[in-house]
Structure 1
Amino acid sequence: MLLFPASNDLLIMFVALEVMSLPLYLLCGLARRRRLLSQEASLKYFLLGAFSSAFFLYGMAFVYGYAGTVSLPGISQALATGGQLDPILLLGLSLLGVGLLFKIGAAPFHAWKPDVYQGAPTPVTALMASGTLVAAMGAVLRVFWVALGNLDWDWRPVMWVVAALTMIVGAILAITQTDIKRMLAYSSIAHAGFLLIGVMATFEIAEKNAGSLAAILFYLLVYGFTTVGAFAVVTMVRDPGGEANHLSRWAGLGKRAPLLSGVFAFFLLAFAGIPLTSGFFGKYAVFAAALDSGSQVGDALGSWMTGLVVVGVIASAIAAFFYVRVIVLMFFSEPAADGPTVAMPSIGTAVVIGVALLVTVGVGLFPQPALDIASQAASGLFIR
C-alpha cells in the first residue's frame, strides 16, 4: 500500500497495485455473520478489480510503446521532447486513467464501492475507505502530475467531467441509501470527487504545485482519521444478528447512547464540512488551491476551475442533507423497544475513536499546525 504511491515507474506501480489489491479481495470475504453478502462483495471486488488492473496494464503497454520507458520522469521527458500527439499515447493515458480512477471510486467507475463496503467486515471497510484511498490518490498524483504533467491540457477536460460527476453521483445517491455503510460508501465517492479538484489544480510553474499538493495531503489526513473513527462507531451499534446497519435501527440512538451518538454526529458534521471541524478546512484548502490555480493559468481555464469549485460547493450542500438526516434520526426520533444495543468498546476501539475525535476536533479548532506539516511534506516536491 505504501509502495503504490511511492513508485517511480509504472511497472513497480502495477506490482504494488496487485500486492495491495489481492489481500483486500480476501479480507472482504471474511465476515462471519453475513457470510453470503461478504463473499458476494469479495467476488464483485475481485472481478471488477481484475478488469481495472488489466486496463492499467494495457495503458502501461501503450505508454511504453510511445515513450520507450515506464519510468515516470522518462515519460515526462518523452512528452516534453515529442512532437504531435500520438493516438497510442492518448489511448494509454485513457486506460491508465480508468485503472487509477477505479481504485479511488471515481464515477463512472464507482459501482463496486457500495456493495463492497456493505458486505466487507467493517474494520476492512475502514481500511479501504482510508488507507486504500490515500494510496490510490497518491498514485493518481504520481501518474498525472509527474509522468503526464506535460499533457495536462489534454487530460484536464476529462478530469473535470469525472470530478464533477463523482461529486454529484456520490452526493445524490447517498440520499437514497437506507444502509449506514452504503451511505458512507457514497460519501467516500463524493470525497474522491473533492480530491480530484485538487488534482486539477496544477500550475504552469512547477514550484507552485507544492501548495496544491499540500491541500491534498491535508485533506487526506483529516478525512482518513474521520473515516476510521466513523466506522469504529458503526462496529459498536449491534443487533442480535450482528451490526445494526439499517438506518431505521439507528432511530433514537441518541437517547440510548448519547455520548456515542454525539461522537458519530461530530464525525458526520466533519464529513459535511461544517465550520470548526477538520472537514471544513480540508475542503477549503482544496477549493482555494483550485481557484488559485485557475487564476494563474488563464481566463478560460480559470472559469472552468471556478465552475468546478461551484459544483463542489453544491455537492457539499446536498451531502449535508443526508448527514444531518442521520443526526436527526438519532436525536429526534423515539427509540424502538427492540432497538439495537451499544457494545462495550475494547481498548483498541476506544483508542481509535478517541484519536479520530481528537484529530477531528483539534484540526477543526487549530488547523495551522496540520497545514504546516502538509506544506513541509509538499515542499521540495516540485511537480513538473
Structure 2
Amino acid sequence: MTTFEAPSIVWSALLPTLVVAGAAVAGVLVEAFVPRGPRRVVQLVLGLLAASLALVAVVWRWTEVSSSGPQHVIGSSVVEDGPALAAQAVLALLGFVGLLVIADRTESGEGAFVAQAAARPGSTAEADATRAGLAQTEVYPLTLFALSGMFVFAQANDLLTLFIALEVLSLPLYVLCGLARRRRLLSQEASLKYFLLGAFASAFMIFGIALLYGYSGSITFSGLSEAVPTTVGMDYLLLGGAVLVIAGLLFKVGAVPFHSWTPDVYTGAPTPVTGFMAAATKLAALVALVRFVYVALPDLSWDLTPFFWAVAALTMLVGTVVGIVQSDVKRMLAYSSIAHAGFLLVGVVAYEQAAVSGVLFYLLAYGLATVGAFALVTLVRERDPDGNVTGEANHIAQWAGLGRRSPIAAVGMTVFLLSFAGIPLTAGFVGKFSVFSAAVAGGQTVLVVLAVLASAATAFFYVRLVVLMFFTEPDGDTVVVVSSEGLTTVGVTVCLAGTVLLGVLPGPLLELAGQAATFLP
C-alpha cells in the first residue's frame, strides 16, 4: 500500500502571491457586503495596497534568495528563483499602474466600463443603469485574480501547475474584455473570440502535457529534463508534446501563427484592460516559456531552434508589415505588440543566460511603454457637433494636431512610441540592445539582422503618428483630450519616468536582471 506524502510548503516564499490572491478574495467580499457608494474607493484602495505590499514582499524575498539561494516552494511544483521574483516585481508594478488607469474617470464621471454587464447592449436596462450611475466594481477583484495567476505562472515548475496558472490568469481576462462602456457589441465579440481561441490554446497545452507525461512518466520540469537525454533517435511523443505546450504559451505571448486574437481583442476590450493585458500577460507568458524551454527541455534545444527561428521570423514579419497599414491606433499598437513578441523570441532562441536578463529588462521597458500608451489613448476623445464628448478617437487621422491641443499628452505619447521603436535614451533601446547582443553571442546573427530590419520598419508607423501629432494641421475641432480624476496622469507619469530613467541610467537594473537570470533546475 502506497502512502501519500504531503509536499513541504515554504509559506514565506508564497507571500507575494498570497497577498494578491487574498486581496482578490477580499474584493469579492467587498462586492457582497460594502454599500454601493463607497465600494469603488474601497476596491481601488484594496487593489493598490495589494500591489504595493506584493512588491515589498518580492523585494524581501529577493534579499532572502540572494543570501540563501533559490528554493522549491511547494514540493517541486513551484520555485522561488531570480526570474520568478523579477517577473513578480514587474507584474506588481504593472498591476499598480494598471489599476490606476482602470479606476480613472473623466471629468464627466464616465469610466471605461459598462454600468451593468448583464444588460443587453442598447436595452432599456442598460440605459437605466447608466443614468443611475452604477459602477462595475467587479473589475478590481477580477484584475487581482488575473494578477495572482500571473504570479504563479512565472514560477510554475511542473506541467499541471503551469496549466492551472494559465487558466487562473485567463478566465478573469475573458470577462474583463467584454465590459467596455462604449461599442458594447465589439467588446463582447472580443471577449468571445478571446475565450474560444483561448480554449483551443488550453486544449493544445493539456494534450501536450499528456504526451509529455506519457513520454517521461513525470509532470515536473526536472523529471522531464532527466528523461530527455535517454531518448534514442526521434521520439514523436516528446517533440509533439513539447511543441503543443509551447504553442499554448505562444498564444499568450501573441506570436504568429497564434496571434489572430490579438488585434480584435486589443481593439474591442476596454482600453485600460488592453494596456494591462498587453503588458502583464506577455511578461508572465514569456517568463513561463523561457523556464519551460531552459529548465525542462535544455537537451532539446537543437530540435526546437528551427521551430523558434521560424516563429520569431514570422512574428516580426507579420507584426511589422500588417502594422504599417493600420489606420486604428489600438490595432496599430496590437500589431506592434506582435512585432515585439518576435523581438523577445529572438532572446529565447539564443539559449544564453545573458539573453534571459535581456528579456527581463525588455519586458519591463515594453510593459511601461504599453500601459502608458494605452492610458493616453483613453484620454483622446471624439466630440460631436453639439460639443458633447463621446468615445475614444482611435482613428490615426484624428490624432492630427494633438501636439497643439495637448502638448503634454502628445509629448508623453511620443516618448512611448520612441521607446517602442528602440530609439536611444529610452528603455526600449536598452532592452532591444540587450536581447539582440545576447542573441548574437548565442550564434543567431542572421535572426538578429532580420530583427534589426523589422525594428527599423516598425519605426515607420510610430514616426507617422508623431508626425501627425506635431506637424499636421488638425481637421476641425472634433477631437479633445479630456481631463480626468488624475489617476491616469499618475500612471502615465510613472511610466514616463521609468521609460526615460531606464533609458538614461540602465546600469543598476541591468545588473539586477543579470543576477536574476539563473533558473532553479
TM-score interval, normalised by the smaller of the two chains = over 0.9
**1:271 CA displacement:** 0.2
1:335 aligns with 2:474: yes
User: Could you tell me how far apart the structure 2 residues matched to 1:25 and 1:381 are?
Assistant: 31
Aligned position for 1:354 = 493
1:289 aligns with 2:438: yes
TM-score (norm 2): 0.69
User: Could you tell me how far apart the structure 2 residues matched to 1:63 and 1:46 are?
Assistant: 25
Given the alignment, which residue of 414, 417, 421 partners 1:272?
421
**Segments of 4+ in structure 1 off by > 6 A?**
none
Aligned position for 1:149 = 298
Aligned position for 2:265 = 116
Say if 1:58 and 1:92, in contact at 8 Å, map to a contact too: yes
Aligned position for 1:371 = 510
Given the alignment, which residue of 333, 337, 361 partners 1:218?
361
Moved more, 236-245 or 305-314: 236-245
User: Could you tell me how far apart the structure 1 residues matched to 2:244 and 2:516 are?
Assistant: 30
Say if 2:414 and 2:466, in contact at 8 Å, map to a contact too: yes
Query: What are the superposed Cα offsets for residues 45-100 of structure 1, whole Å, 9 maximum, x if unpaired?
Result: 00000000000000000011000011011100100233333111111112112111
Say if 2:211 and 2:241, in contact at 8 Å, map to a contact too: yes
Aligned position for 1:129 = 278
Q: Secondary structure at the match of 1:238?
A: strand
Query: What are the superposed Cα offsets for residues 154-181 of structure 1, whole Å, 9 maximum, x if unpaired?
Result: 0100100100110111011111111100
User: Could you tell me how far apart the structure 2 residues matched to 1:365 and 1:7 are?
Assistant: 34
1:13-28 paired onto structure 2 within 5 Å: 13-28=162-177
1:190-269 paired onto structure 2 within 5 Å: 190-202=339-351, 209-239=352-382, 240-269=389-418
Say if 1:28 and 1:38, in contact at 8 Å, map to a contact too: yes
User: Could you tell me how far apart the structure 1 residues matched to 2:379 and 2:511 are?
Assistant: 35
Aligned position for 1:34 = 183
Query: What are the superposed Cα offsets for residues 245-274 of structure 1, whole Å, 9 maximum, x if unpaired?
Result: 111111111111111101101110110001
Q: Which has the higher helix share?
A: 1
User: Could you tell me how far apart the structure 1 residues matched to 2:309 and 2:353 are?
Assistant: 20
1:316 aligns with 2:455: yes
**Which residues of structure 1 form unaligned runs of 5+?**
203-208, 295-304
Say if 2:291 and 2:519, in contact at 8 Å, map to a contact too: no
Given the alignment, which residue of 174, 180, 187 partners 2:329?
180
1:79-90 paired onto structure 2 within 5 Å: 79-90=228-239
Aligned position for 2:159 = 10
**Which residues of structure 2 form unaligned runs of 5+?**
1-149, 383-388
**1:381 CA displacement:** 2.8
Aligned position for 2:519 = 381
Q: Secondary structure at the match of 2:381?
A: strand
Given the alignment, which residue of 289, 293, 309 partners 1:160?
309
Task: Give, as a single letter, the amino acid of the residue that structure 1 aligns with 2:477.
Answer: D
Say if 1:159 and 1:200, in contact at 8 Å, map to a contact too: yes
User: Could you tell me how far apart the structure 2 residues matched to 1:345 and 1:223 are?
Assistant: 25
Aligned residues: 366
Q: Secondary structure at the match of 2:516?
A: helix
**RMSD of aligned Cα (Å):** 1.1
Say if 2:295 and 2:519, in contact at 8 Å, map to a contact too: no
**1:345 CA displacement:** 3.5
**1:382 CA displacement:** 6.3
User: Could you tell me how far apart the structure 2 residues matched to 1:224 and 1:160 are?
Assistant: 24
TM-score (norm 1): 0.93
Identify the structure with bigger relative contact order (alpha carbons < 8 Å, sequence gap 6+).
1
1:45 aligns with 2:194: yes
Say if 1:59 and 1:95, in contact at 8 Å, map to a contact too: yes
**1:330 CA displacement:** 0.8
User: Could you tell me how far apart the structure 2 residues matched to 1:81 and 1:346 are?
Assistant: 61
User: Could you tell me how far apart the structure 1 residues matched to 2:436 and 2:259 are?
Assistant: 23
User: Could you tell me how far apart the structure 2 residues matched to 1:221 and 1:247 are?
Assistant: 27
Query: What are the superposed Cα offsets for residues 122-179 of structure 1, whole Å, 9 maximum, x if unpaired?
Result: 1110111110000110111121111111101001001001001101110111111111
Q: Which has the larger radius of gyration?
A: 2
Q: Secondary structure at the match of 2:370?
A: helix
